[in-house]
Amino acid sequence: GAVVSQHPSWVICKSGTSVKIECRSLDFQATTMFWYRQFPKQSLMLMATSNEGSKATYEQGVEKDKFLINHASLTLSTLTVTSAHPEDSSFYICSARDAGALSSSYEQYFGPGTRLTVT
Amino acid sequence: DQQVKQNSPSLSVQEGRISILNCDYTNSMFDYFLWYKKYPAEGPTFLISISSIKDKNEDGRFTVFLNKSAKHLSLHIVPSQPGDSAVYFCAASRGKLIFGQGTELSVKP
């Protein structure tokens, strides 16, 4: 099956620093990747849709200057949390859509997530 | 505006019995509905899906029912096993996935 990896799996950083999270599709090419965040006991909230070679589309209420997304290749998207603060502490999950799938395909393959703690 | 809702935060079931997880939605334009299983500190894993033009889809112990008139779907797991204990999310698709809040299922031996 399709595998998506994330790195790091967990990270602790100091307030004011930036953190980069990588999302890779290991055995397929992904023209579209999605970034979600999940607070404890809550739903997965879509933050942004990342398309290879173009700017990401951010959901309402998500600061694009704070959460920088780069999708430079068909197998890698990165999320950089800039000037992180304690309220950014969360579980960040990426997913990828297979470029070889039908354009109408709804299937997304999820990464294992990254736990970010900002102190 | 919560377009996908799972009103039961938790469910406890005896091993061997049926587990029924429910999900309601508000947007009639959703074209696919999916169920995911998730463990803490892990990404969701896909379980089963159903197209909006169907009313039932079955895969082994898992069956999803869709009632479009009521904007309601349910996931039936039978027989339930202790290994099924996890958080279950329903999601609706219209290009992007909208998730419900999740239901924590506990299957007791």
Measured CA to CA in angstroms, residue B105 lies from A102, B13, B32, B36, B102 at distances of: 33, 8, 23, 12, 9
Q: Looking at the partner chain, which of B34, B49, B100 has a beta carbon nearest the beta carbon of A43?
A: B100
Under an 8 Å CB criterion, which residues of B touch A? 9, 31-32, 34, 36, 41-46, 49, 89, 93, 96-102
Percent of chain B with pLDDT over 70: 99
Residue A103 pLDDT > 70: no
pLDDT number for residue A37: 95
Cβ separation B96–A112 shorter than 8 A: no
Q: What kind and span of H or E run contains A97?
A: strand A90-98
Cβ separation B89–A43 shorter than 8 A: yes
Q: Which of A29, A34, A19 is nearest to A89 (CA)?
A: A19
Write out pLDDT tens, residues B38-56: 998 888 999 999 999 999 9
Among A71-75, B55-59, B64-68, B97-101, which is the least confidently predicted range? A71-75
Query: What rounded mean pLDDT belongs to chain B?
Result: 94
Percent of chain A with pLDDT over 90: 69
Residue A107 pLDDT > 90: no
Residue type, B105: L
The residue-averaged pLDDT of A103-116 equals 82
How does residue A1 score in pLDDT terms, banded at 50, 70 and 90?
Answer: low
Residue A101 pLDDT > 90: no
Query: What rounded mean pLDDT belongs to chain A?
Result: 90
A116 CA to chain B: closest CA distance, Å?
11
pLDDT number for residue A51: 87
